[in-house]
Amino acid sequence: MEEKIVFETDEGEVLFYVLEETRVAGVNYLLVTDSEEDEADCYILKDVSAANETEAVYEMVEDDATLDALSKIFGELLENAEIKGVDKEESVEEK
């Protein structure tokens, strides 16, 4: 994992490692993890930036149907990983 992003929350900044990215229906999504360990919590972030913004703005995807659909897409993109849904969070295991 090489690309890292900083996600700003009400509690402060969180460092995420980008595992994969995809574009669905004109919207960019990132699959990120909070650790470089084999079993880590993962999250799917949606790009909500305006076209004229210089920096990307992401929010966590929380809709169950959207999470399920995107989990399948990211699972296909990451052939060597198994993605398991966990309470609106994702878990990734390297194979």
Q: Could you read off the pLDDT of 29-70 as tens digits, one per residue?
A: 999 988 887 777 889 999 999 888 888 888 999 999 999 999
Does this model's pTM top 0.95? My answer is no
Q: What is the DSSP-derived secondary structure letter of residue 7?
A: E
pLDDT value of residue 36: 81
For residue 62, the one-letter residue type is E
What lies within 8 Å, CB to CB, of 87 at 6+ separation is: none
Contact 16, 7 (CB under 8 A): yes
> What token pair was written down for 40?
């880590």
Q: How many residues does the chain have?
A: 95
List pLDDT tens digits, range 3-31.
888 888 788 888 899 989 999 999 999 99
Block residue for tokens 């980008």: 18
> What token pair was written down for 82?
């198994």
Q: Please choose, from the candidates 53, 43, 52, the residue with its C-alpha nearest in 3D space to the C-alpha of residue 9.
A: 43
Contact 21, 3 (CB under 8 A): no
